[in-house]
Amino acid sequence: MVSDLPDGGTIRVSRAFLRDNRRATREGPLLRGQPTEAVESDHVEIPVPAAATDDLTEVRVLHVDDDPEINELTKTFLERVDDDISVVAETSVVTALEHLRADNLEFDCIVSDYDMPNTNGLEFLEIVREEHPDLPFILFTGKGSEEIASGAISAGVTDYMQKGSGTEQYEMLANRVRNAAERYRTQRRFWDALSWYRRLVEQSLAGVFIVQDTELVYVNEHFTEIFGYSRRELVGSSPGVLIGDFGDAAALLDHLTGDPRVTDTFQYEFTGEHRDGTEIPVEVHGGTITYDGDPGYIGILWDRSE
């Protein structure tokens, strides 16, 4: 069985569940990647992404401006305009980076001035992009020019906003911060979920494979164990290499070489062939999938002799 899903962390899943619950490995997307290490126990610990929520609550902002008065003013107005925004204000890039690298702090967005001593806003952005490629970074500067804007875009800035007069600018800035933070958190949840599903598939005791254009383009670790081939040997080859009796697998091969856009789910039993020539009674269930942007087939396969 599967334990109750926690908010993040891991779940403890019995290998028997992964073997018997055939839908468990069929309903999530996959990512290419190296197989996780095999776990020699009756259970598998699988990381689970934190629960996704539609509403963004606290938005943690790191604001950097060398002018203490502007720094405090920006912090005050952002937090006043949007109750959910919480700002950590720093007057130097050095101290800002210390906050950014602290283990107990996690930010949803950076707002930075451009014209600062020692390290300007673009140089700060380049440092941030090396360590946090996707973290939203808004350049909020009083020194605007096409050259600065072009450099910011090239360095991967999320948004560019020139300082003005009046409190309306802070309402606009708060709105841009919130929008950037929402996109960032959505993106992180998406990739966390993909990573979790991939780990689930990799640690399954069912063989999982994907076929596109009559070739295997993905196999999980247990699929390689069933047939005795390495992943490198299987990916790029025809699934026909794994079939011992082509008579009882003809319908399956016809299915896998057909157009995935006009077919649905499938279920077959046939005799597979191990690398050493041993015959393997197998059962396969599958359906269509979009993988890396192209249509194909995903199959879940079991060694019926186990």
**Per-residue model confidence as pLDDT tens digits over 234-292:** 999 988 888 876 666 677 777 777 776 666 778 888 888 999 999 999 999 888 888 77
Of residues 110 and 57, which shows the higher confidence score? 110
Enumerate the CATH 3.30.450.20 domain ranges in the chain, comma separated. 206-306
- Segment 111-116 mean pLDDT: 92
Q: Residue 56: its pLDDT value, please?
A: 55
Q: How far apart are CA 77 and CA 173, in angstroms?
A: 10
Q: Residue 42: its pLDDT value, please?
A: 52
Q: How far apart are CA 133 and CA 243, in angstroms?
A: 45
Q: Which tokens belong to 149? A: 């804007």
Q: Residue 180: its pLDDT value, please?
A: 93
- Segment 38-57 mean pLDDT: 47
Of residues 21 and 155, which shows the higher confidence score? 155
Q: How far apart are CA 267 and CA 18, in angstroms?
A: 19
- Segment 158-168 mean pLDDT: 87
Q: Tell if the pTM clears 0.95, that is, is over it.
A: no
- Segment 7-13 mean pLDDT: 44
Q: How far apart are CA 237 and CA 276, in angstroms?
A: 17
Enumerate the CATH 3.40.50.2300 domain ranges in the chain, comma separated. 59-195
User: Is the CB of residue 75 less than 8 Å from the CB of residue 89?
Assistant: yes
Q: How far apart are CA 33 and CA 61, in angstroms?
A: 33
The CATH T-level fold of domain 206-306 is Beta-Lactamase (3.30.450)
Average pLDDT of every residue of the chain: 78
The CATH T-level fold of domain 59-195 is Rossmann fold (3.40.50)
- Segment 84-107 mean pLDDT: 89
User: Is the CB of residue 59 less than 8 Å from the CB of residue 85?
Assistant: yes
Q: Within a 10 A sphere around the Cβ of 125, how many other Cβ atoms?
A: 23
Q: Residue 287: its pLDDT value, please?
A: 86
Q: How far apart are CA 12 and CA 44, in angstroms?
A: 6
Strand ranges (E), the chain? 10-14, 43-47, 59-64, 85-90, 109-112, 137-141, 159-162, 207-212, 215-219, 266-273, 279-291, 294-303
Count of alpha carbons within 13 angstroms of residue 122, beta-carbon side? 13
